[in-house]
């Protein structure tokens, strides 16, 4: 028993000293509890916003418990909003026909709206028992029907990959060099701090471009079916700006953390919730307004949305100006903070 107690105490002390283990044992599950508890437990969570035009009994029968109605002056305006990604679907009643247009970029919301509209129409036809079905649904997606699911997964996966590699690479590099006293030697050498940071930026940019090139090269093969739009090359300026933004996050974490374990936990604590709140893994368009407000300040949200615009919606240069400004502005501010707290020694 004495040996068992000694070993147990030693293991427990080792656990308390391991910041990464503590993070994944306690903070990691609590982070998911807070995220999903706040998102799914908030009033209005789960409602799908639908653009509506026209009047009729079927429009009035749309259940308000799951449908949030946004009125438009014309059906063309509503469809344009769906195509631009502002809303997931648009509905219009023209006599006995219900026109439904949805975006395949948000397949969860699109499937929900289709099921609800079909249910409303089916219920209306059942009430007219003994007669041929009166109401019909004209349903279609606004994008090209030949697009594969990879078309809509690409932007989020690329944003996630770039964020993780840039943030982890910079943070772990700084911490490792500080612990091994490489930074101290560099400080005493003729090498300037700008050269150190510049080298890290250069490596991160090369890795990000290589990631995108490999990902796109594999995704365009017949096995996956990615179809590049006319302005697909605009993804690369976004990837460069996104790399700089998350490289700044890594520099900040690496300037503060003193061990690799602490750096790993800190990057996860920053980047992972950002990915969920930015709509990388699932859409947040139907989440409460405050969630979308918080997401609008997150660089990953602008990176993934910008990539979606150029890779799927065939957007022009104007569509990436705001994401580029946000990403570069974020990078500048966080880098400035990192320089204030940076230390050469442990």
DSSP state of 130: T
**239-255 residue pLDDT tens:** 899 999 999 999 898 88
**179-229 residue pLDDT tens:** 888 777 877 777 676 777 777 778 888 888 887 888 788 877 877 777 777
What pLDDT score does 333 carry?
Answer: 92
Pairing relationship of beta strands 136-141 and 89-94 according to DSSP bridges? unpaired
Choose among 77, 30, 21: nearest CA to 52.
77
Q: d(Cα 110, Cα 216) in Å, to the nearest integer?
A: 26
Q: d(Cα 263, Cα 16) in Å, to the nearest integer?
A: 16
Per-state percent for the chain, helix, strand, coil, to nearest 5: 65, 10, 25
48-141 topology per CATH: abc type-2 transporter like fold (3.40.1710)
Q: What is the pTM of this model?
A: 0.70
186 SS3 class: helix
What pLDDT score does 291 carry?
Answer: 72
Q: Contact, 303 vs 154, CB < 8 A?
A: no
Q: d(Cα 117, Cα 115) in Å, to the nearest integer?
A: 6
Structural domain spans, the chain = 48-141, 150-341
What pLDDT score does 195 carry?
Answer: 73
Report, as ranges of residue numbers, the positions in the chain whose pLDDT lies below 70: 1, 7, 11-12, 14-16, 18-46, 129-131, 144-149, 191, 193, 230, 282-283, 285-288, 346
Choose among 56, 47, 90, 84: nearest CA to 70.
90
């Amino acid at each position: 028993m004495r040996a068992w107690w000694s070993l147990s105490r030693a293991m427990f002390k080792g656990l308390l000293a391991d910041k990464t283990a503590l993070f994944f044992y306690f903070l990691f599950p609590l982070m998911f509890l807070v995220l999903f508890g706040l998102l799914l437990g908030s009033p209005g969570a789960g409602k799908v916003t639908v653009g509506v035009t026209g009047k009729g009994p079927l429009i009035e029968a749309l259940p308000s418990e799951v449908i949030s109605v946004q009125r438009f002056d014309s059906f063309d305006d509503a469809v344009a909003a769906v195509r631009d990604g502002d809303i997931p679907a648009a509905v219009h009643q023209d006599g006995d026909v219900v026109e439904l247009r949805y975006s395949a970029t948000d397949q969860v919301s699109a499937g929900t709206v289709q099921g609800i509209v079909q249910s409303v129409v089916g219920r209306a036809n059942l009430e007219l028992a003994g007669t041929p079905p009166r109401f019909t649904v004209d349903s279609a997606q606004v994008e090209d029907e030949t697009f594969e699911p990879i078309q809509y997964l690409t932007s989020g996966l690329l944003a996630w990959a770039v964020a993780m590699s840039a943030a982890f690479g910079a943070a772990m590099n700084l911490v490792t060099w500080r612990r091994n006293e490489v930074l101290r030697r560099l400080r005493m050498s003729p090498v300037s701090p700008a050269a150190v940071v510049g080298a890290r930026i250069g490596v991160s940019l090369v890795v990000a471009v290589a990631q995108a090139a490999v990902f796109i090269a594999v995704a365009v093969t017949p096995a996956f079916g990615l179809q590049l739009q006319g302005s697909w090359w605009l993804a690369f300026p976004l990837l460069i700006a996104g790399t700089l933004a998350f490289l700044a996050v890594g520099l900040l974490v690496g300037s503060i953390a003193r061990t690799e374990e602490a750096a790993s936990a800190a990057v996860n604590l920053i980047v992972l919730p950002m990915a969920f709140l930015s709509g990388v893994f699932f859409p947040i368009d139907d989440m409460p307004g405050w969630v979308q407000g918080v997401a609008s300040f997150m660089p990953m949200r602008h990176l993934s949305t910008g990539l979606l615009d150029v890779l799927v919606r065939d957007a022009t240069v104007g569509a990436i100006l705001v994401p580029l400004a946000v990403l570069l502005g974020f990078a500048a501010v966080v880098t400035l903070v990192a320089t204030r707290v940076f230390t050469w020694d442990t």
